[in-house]
């Protein structure tokens, strides 16, 4: 058998003639090759740049190579944030694809934070691991100038996966070009893991009962990360017994003009530790609770209320009142609207607040058990009676005139509003000591008191008697103003507007 011989020349010159060296490839092919590698390896651009001077030049000068950003929460969060900033800078002005793999959904906000200032460059967001989501953002964000609204929902671990979520949703059908960033967490991020955020509106809401109570430090830390904040809402944390007092930082919010606090025992901690010099609207809702609030504070004003007025929620009254006192003492905000829905203060706190809020224009209180003392202080009065009181006090002579609150100069009169007939008026208002009387709706669009006034008498009489919650003494009449109070655990609704102030001339 004969064998033929095949000769192969394996010399370097022959090999190079068949397969060109990578260094001889056109720059366009190198860029596409590097971009392919970068889409699979989070640090590929940095690695490729260390091979040789040519590759480093191609990588550094080609935004295409940096278009895909891959972050993993296994790395130190600040290191991943630094990586994101570098990729954002090197990829400009091209669009970005952001890929997150997170084992802990609480890390989503800190990892996405560096990309928020360049949201118009986002092309696609992909989240995997603890959360699964893939969304094309270029069409959505192309209509936006900025992303202003952040909504944070706090869940317990066992409830964290029960709700379908999208990170970016439409704010309202009425505003199709306004988007909200939604984040679901089991706890608020640590301050050290956050970088400054440019949101102007922030909402933090508890969506399920928590097994671990929040430390107000976390809330204040998040506020510190939002120095441009103009509106803040906190709601849902009604239990804070596990929190123990420790010094809290004071957060400067120079643009905050609207603050909502609902169903939370953190009201004092928040109000006492923000510096909001332009705050003009304050809304407090469902802050009253009947049990003691921890921790114990020992600050000026924490002493027992000298009025000794009855309250169903003395501890939350003190917390709310002290929070407002500390806020006013720190920055004296120009609050024009104050609304309190099932939220109260001690008598001395009401007096302090109304004495110091000199620009107050609108005060609304609902479902309150404020005392007779406060209601008497809010009643209409004339300058002559006030002068008589003042003269009697200065001469140590007793006066039979009722005391009254010296209100803010911007308020010109008291107005009590009937919530069932807001356009109508009533001539007289009274307090009734019969706290168990039932209120009935009458044909004359008023609330009558069962077994107290007959229908015919009530229909022909412009008077209205109200038995506020709590313990009241003798009847006191407030005239020339409509007023609504409902008892028996229903609603109490008082609108305080424009109280006449005596001249200071």
The predicted pLDDT at position 332 comes to 93
What does the pLDDT average to over 59-83? 93
Report the distance separating Cα 305 and Cα 323, nearest Å: 15
In the numeric block, the tokens 């009590």 are attached to 416
Structurally, the chain folds into a number of domains equal to: 1
Look at residue 423 and tell me if it is in a domain.
yes
The predicted pLDDT at position 17 comes to 53
In this structure, are residues 167 and 125 in contact, taking their beta carbons and an 8 Å threshold? Answer: yes
The predicted pLDDT at position 299 comes to 65
Count CB atoms within 10 A of the CB of residue 21.
8
Look at residue 415 and tell me if it is in a domain.
yes
Sign of CA dihedral 8, 13, 18, 19: positive
What does the pLDDT average to over 364-380? 74
List the beta bridge partners of residue 134: 126
Look at residue 435 and tell me if it is in a domain.
yes
In SS3 terms, 267-295 reads as: HHHHHCCEECCCCCEEEEECCCCCCCCCC
Percent of the chain whose pLDDT exceeds 90:
30
pLDDT tens digits, residue range 5-55?
A: 444 454 555 544 555 576 677 888 889 999 999 998 989 999 999 888 888
For residue 497, give the 3-state DSSP assignment: strand
Selected residue with higher pLDDT from 184 and 373: 184
List the beta bridge partners of residue 440: 448
Look at residue 61 and tell me if it is in a domain.
no
Report the mean per-residue pLDDT for the chain. 72
What does the pLDDT average to over 474-497? 31
Answer whether residue 148 shows pLDDT above 60: yes
The predicted pLDDT at position 308 comes to 60
Expressed as residue numbers, the domain containing 485 is 406-497
| Nearest residue to 287 via CA among 244, 344, 326, 234 | 344
| Nearest residue to 264 via CA among 243, 289, 282 | 289
Look at residue 182 and tell me if it is in a domain.
no
Selected residue with higher pLDDT from 102 and 492: 102
In the numeric block, the tokens 């909502």 are attached to 260
The predicted pLDDT at position 423 comes to 52
In the numeric block, the tokens 């003392």 are attached to 373
Look at residue 492 and tell me if it is in a domain.
yes
Look at residue 304 and tell me if it is in a domain.
no
Strands 477-479 and 428-431: antiparallel
Copy the structure tokens of residue 290.
């009947």
Answer whether residue 449 shows pLDDT above 60: no
Answer whether residue 432 shows pLDDT above 90: no
**Which are the contacts of 401, defined by CB distance < 8 A and separation ≥ 6?**
385, 388, 389, 392
What does the pLDDT average to over 119-132? 88
Look at residue 254 and tell me if it is in a domain.
no
| Nearest residue to 135 via CA among 145, 127, 143 | 127
Residue 303: pLDDT band (50, 70, 90) is low
């Amino acid at each position: 058998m004969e064998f033929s011989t095949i000769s192969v020349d394996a010399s370097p010159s022959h090999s190079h003639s068949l397969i060109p060296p990578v260094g001889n490839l056109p720059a366009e092919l190198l860029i596409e090759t590097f971009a392919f590698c970068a889409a699979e390896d989070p640090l590929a651009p940095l690695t490729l740049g260390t091979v040789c001077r040519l590759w480093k030049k191609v990588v550094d000068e080609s935004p295409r190579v940096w278009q895909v950003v891959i972050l993993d929460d296994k790395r130190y969060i600040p290191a991943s944030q630094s990586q994101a900033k570098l990729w954002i800078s090197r990829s400009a002005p091209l669009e970005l694809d952001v890929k997150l793999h997170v084992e802990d959904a609480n890390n989503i906000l800190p990892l996405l934070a560096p990309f928020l200032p360049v949201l118009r460059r986002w092309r696609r967001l992909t989240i995997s691991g603890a959360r699964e989501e893939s969304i094309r953002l270029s069409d959505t964000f192309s209509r936006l100038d900025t992303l202003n609204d952040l909504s944070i929902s706090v869940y317990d671990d066992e409830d964290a996966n029960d709700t379908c979520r999208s990170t970016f949703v439409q704010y309202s059908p009425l505003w199709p070009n306004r988007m909200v960033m939604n984040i679901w967490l089991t706890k608020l991020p640590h301050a050290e893991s956050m970088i400054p955020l440019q949101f102007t509106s922030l909402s933090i809401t508890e969506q399920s009962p928590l097994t671990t109570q929040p430390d107000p430090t976390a809330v204040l830390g998040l506020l510190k990360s939002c120095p441009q904040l103009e509106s803040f809402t906190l709601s849902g944390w009604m239990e804070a017994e596990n929190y123990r007092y420790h010094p809290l930082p004071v957060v400067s919010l120079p643009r905050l003009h609207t603050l909502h606090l609902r169903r939370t025992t953190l009201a004092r901690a928040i109000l006492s530790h923000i510096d909001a010099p332009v705050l003009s609207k304050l809304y407090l809702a469902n802050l009253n609770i009947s049990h003691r609030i921890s921790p114990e504070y020992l600050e000026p004003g924490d002493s027992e209320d000298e009025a000794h007025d009855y309250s169903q929620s003395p501890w939350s009254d003190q917390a709310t009142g002290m929070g407002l006192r500390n806020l006013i003492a720190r920055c004296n905000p120009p609050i024009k609207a104050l609304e309190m829905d099932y939220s109260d203060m001690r008598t001395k706190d009401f007096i302090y607040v109304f004495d110091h809020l000199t620009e107050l224009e609108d005060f609304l209180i609902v479902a309150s058990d404020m005392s007779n003392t406060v209601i008497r202080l809010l009643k209409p009065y004339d300058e002559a009676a006030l002068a008589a009181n003042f003269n009697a006090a200065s001469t140590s002579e007793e006066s039979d005139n009722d005391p009254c609150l010296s209100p803010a100069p911007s308020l010109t009169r008291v107005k009590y509003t009937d919530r069932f007939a807001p356009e109508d008026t009533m001539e007289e208002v009274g307090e009734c000591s019969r706290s168990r009387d039932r209120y009935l709706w009458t044909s004359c669009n008023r609330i009558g008191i069962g077994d107290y006034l007959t229908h015919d008498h009530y229909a022909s009489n412009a008077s209205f008697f109200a038995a506020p919650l709590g313990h009241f003494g003798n009847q006191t009449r407030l005239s020339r103003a409509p007023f609504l109070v409902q008892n028996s655990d229903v609603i109490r609704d008082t609108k305080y507007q424009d109280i006449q102030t005596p001249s200071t001339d």
